[in-house]
C-alpha cells in the first residue's frame, strides 16, 4: 500500500446507513425466556450470568420470540431470509448512496456480506436487476468470515479502489442472526449466542475519489495459525499485536490513535483489547454502544459504530483511526485511515435510518 507521503488517490469510506427490525427483545425478556425454556438445565445460572455480562440491553429481530420458538426448517428460514432481505435492503442502500452523493449507476462493485442466510444467485444479482445498477457492475459476495466480514468488505473495497482509483464500491451487510437461533438447544454456548446476536442491515459506499469520512490508507489481514477451534475472546492476546504491527508499518502507534471502530464478539474482547494496547476504554465507545443497543449484529457492527461517530459530530479533519474486526479462524481484518472533511462540505439530505416503522 502507498506510504503516507504518496500522492496517489485514497479511497474514502463514507457515512453508512443502518436499519434494525421492528421486533425488540430486552435483556430482561431474554433472561425470562431462557428461564422458562430451560428451567431444569444444569448450567442455567451460568448461562444467565454470561448473558447478563454481555451488556446487551436489547436486540432488534426480524421475527417475534414466538416465531423463533417454532424453529422452522432450513428451507423455510432460507425463504424468510430472502424475503426480509428484499424488503429491508433497498431503502438502506438508497440512503448510503445519498450519503456518498452518488447514484446506483456510479457504483462499479457491490460487496455483499452475510453469514446468516444464503441466496443463489447472490443478493447482489437481485440488487442490480431491481435498483438501477449497471449490468456490468462487479459483484463480490462474502459468506464465511463471520464477525470479520465487515472489515474484510472494507478492505476488499479499498483494494479495488486502489487498483481502479476512480471506482466506487457499495458494501451491503444483511444479517438476520435470529433466523439461526436455537432456543431449545441445551449447549451453554448456544444459550449465550441466542442472547447476544441481533438483526440489522447496513450499507456504505467507498469512493475512489472525493467524499467525507475515513480515508483508507492501509489494510491487512491476519490468520492466527492453528486457531480454527478457538474462540475470539480467548485469543485477544494474539490479536492485539497484529493491530500494533500493522500500525507500526504505517508509522503510527496503535495506542495513540484518535478513534477505534472494533467489531468484537462481546465486551470482554473490547476490554482486553484496550488493556493490551493501553487505550482509554472511552475510545471504543461507539462499538460498545452498538453492542449494548443492538447486540452483535454480525457484518453490520463496524458500519453502525462508524455511523455513531458521524452522529456524535466529533470527528476532526486528519484524525487517525483504526478499524478492526475479528472472526473465526482466528482471523483479523484491519484498516488504518484518516478522517477527511471536504473544503466545501455538502449537507446530508436525510438522517440515518435507525428503525423501520
Helix (H, G, I), strand (E, B) or coil at 264: coil
Q: Based on the domain organization, do 227 and 153 belong to the same domain?
A: no
Q: Cell numbers at residue 180, please? A: 439461526
Query: Dihedral through CA 266, CA 272, CA 275, CA 279, nearest 10?
Result: -30
pLDDT in tens, 215-273: 999 999 999 988 887 877 677 888 999 999 999 999 999 999 999 999 877 788 899 99
Report the pLDDT value the prediction gives residue 186, as an integer from 0 to 100.
Answer: 53
Q: Based on the domain organization, do 200 and 304 belong to the same domain?
A: no
pLDDT in tens, 9-65: 589 999 999 999 999 999 888 888 888 777 777 777 887 888 888 889 999 999 887
pTM of the full structure = 0.88
Q: Based on the domain organization, do 276 and 218 belong to the same domain?
A: yes
Q: Based on the domain organization, do 51 and 166 belong to the same domain?
A: yes
Query: Dihedral through CA 312, CA 13, CA 88, CA 193, nearest 10?
Result: -70
Q: What one-character DSSP code corresponds to residue 24? A: E
Pick the more confident residue, 313 or 188: 313
Place of cell 449497471: 134
CB atoms within 10 A of CB 209: 13
Straight-line distance from the first to the last Cα atom of the chain, in angstroms, rounded to the nearest whole number: 43
Q: Based on the domain organization, do 100 and 243 belong to the same domain?
A: no
Residue 111 and residue 153 in contact, taking contact as beta carbons nearer than 8 Å: yes
Domain range for 318: 213-340
Helix (H, G, I), strand (E, B) or coil at 324: strand
Instruction: Count the domains in the chain.
Output: 2
What CATH number is attached to the domain comprising 270? 3.40.47.10
Q: Based on the domain organization, do 118 and 202 belong to the same domain?
A: yes
pLDDT in tens, 329-344: 889 999 999 998 765 5
What's the pLDDT band for 136 if we cut at 50, 70, 90? very high
Q: Based on the domain organization, do 241 and 296 belong to the same domain?
A: yes
pLDDT in tens, 71-92: 778 888 899 999 999 999 999 9
Q: Based on the domain organization, do 294 and 309 belong to the same domain?
A: yes
Q: Based on the domain organization, do 169 and 311 belong to the same domain?
A: no
Query: Which of 150, 151, 76, 157 has its CA nearest to residue 117?
Result: 76
Cite the active site residues: 147
Q: Based on the domain organization, do 185 and 295 belong to the same domain?
A: no
Within a domain: residue 345? Answer: no
Within a domain: residue 354? Answer: no
Domain boundary among 180, 207, 234: 207
Amino acid at each position: 500500500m502507498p506510504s503516507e507521503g504518496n500522492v496517489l488517490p485514497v479511497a474514502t469510506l463514507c457515512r453508512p446507513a443502518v436499519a434494525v427490525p421492528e421486533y425488540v427483545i430486552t435483556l430482561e425478556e431474554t433472561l425470562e425466556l431462557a428461564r422458562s425454556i430451560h428451567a431444569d438445565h444444569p448450567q442455567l445460572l451460568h448461562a444467565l450470568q454470561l448473558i447478563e455480562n454481555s451488556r446487551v440491553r436489547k436486540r432488534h429481530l426480524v421475527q417475534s420470540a414466538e416465531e423463533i420458538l417454532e424453529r422452522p426448517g432450513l428451507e423455510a428460514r432460507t425463504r424468510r431470509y430472502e424475503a426480509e432481505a428484499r424488503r429491508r435492503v433497498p431503502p438502506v442502500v438508497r440512503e448510503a448512496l445519498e450519503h456518498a452523493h452518488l447514484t446506483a449507476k456510479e457504483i462499479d462493485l457491490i460487496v455483499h456480506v452475510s453469514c446468516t442466510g444464503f441466496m443463489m444467485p447472490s443478493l447482489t444479482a437481485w440488487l442490480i436487476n431491481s435498483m438501477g445498477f449497471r449490468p456490468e457492475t462487479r459483484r463480490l459476495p462474502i459468506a464465511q468470515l463471520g464477525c470479520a466480514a465487515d472489515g474484510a468488505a472494507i478492505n476488499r473495497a479499498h483494494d479495488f479502489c486502489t487498483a481502479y482509483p476512480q471506482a466506487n464500491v457499495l458494501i451491503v451487510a444483511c444479517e438476520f442472526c435470529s433466523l439461526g437461533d436455537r432456543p431449545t438447544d441445551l449447549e451453554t454456548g448456544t444459550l449465550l449466542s441466542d442472547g447476544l446476536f441481533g438483526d440489522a442491515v447496513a450499507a456504505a459506499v467507498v469512493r475512489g475519489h472525493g467524499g467525507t469520512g475515513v480515508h483508507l490508507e492501509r489494510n491487512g489481514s491476519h490468520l492466527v495459525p492453528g486457531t480454527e477451534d478457538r474462540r475470539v475472546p480467548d485469543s485477544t492476546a494474539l490479536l492485539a499485536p497484529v493491530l500494533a504491527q500493522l500500525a507500526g508499518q504505517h508509522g503510527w502507534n496503535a495506542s495513540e490513535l484518535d478513534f477505534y471502530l472494533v467489531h468484537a464478539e462481546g465486551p470482554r474482547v473490547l476490554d482486553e483489547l484496550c488493556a493490551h494496547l493501553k487505550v482509554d476504554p472511552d475510545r471504543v465507545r461507539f462499538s460498545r454502544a452498538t453492542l449494548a443497543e443492538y447486540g452483535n449484529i454480525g457484518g453490520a457492527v463496524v458500519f453502525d459504530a462508524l455511523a455513531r461517530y458521524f452522529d456524535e459530530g466529533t470527528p476532526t479533519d486528519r484524525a487517525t483511526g483504526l478499524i478492526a474486526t475479528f472472526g473465526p479462524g482466528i482471523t483479523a481484518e484491519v484498516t488504518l485511515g484518516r478522517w477527511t472533511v471536504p473544503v466545501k462540505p455538502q449537507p446530508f439530505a436525510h438522517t440515518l435510518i435507525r428503525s423501520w416503522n
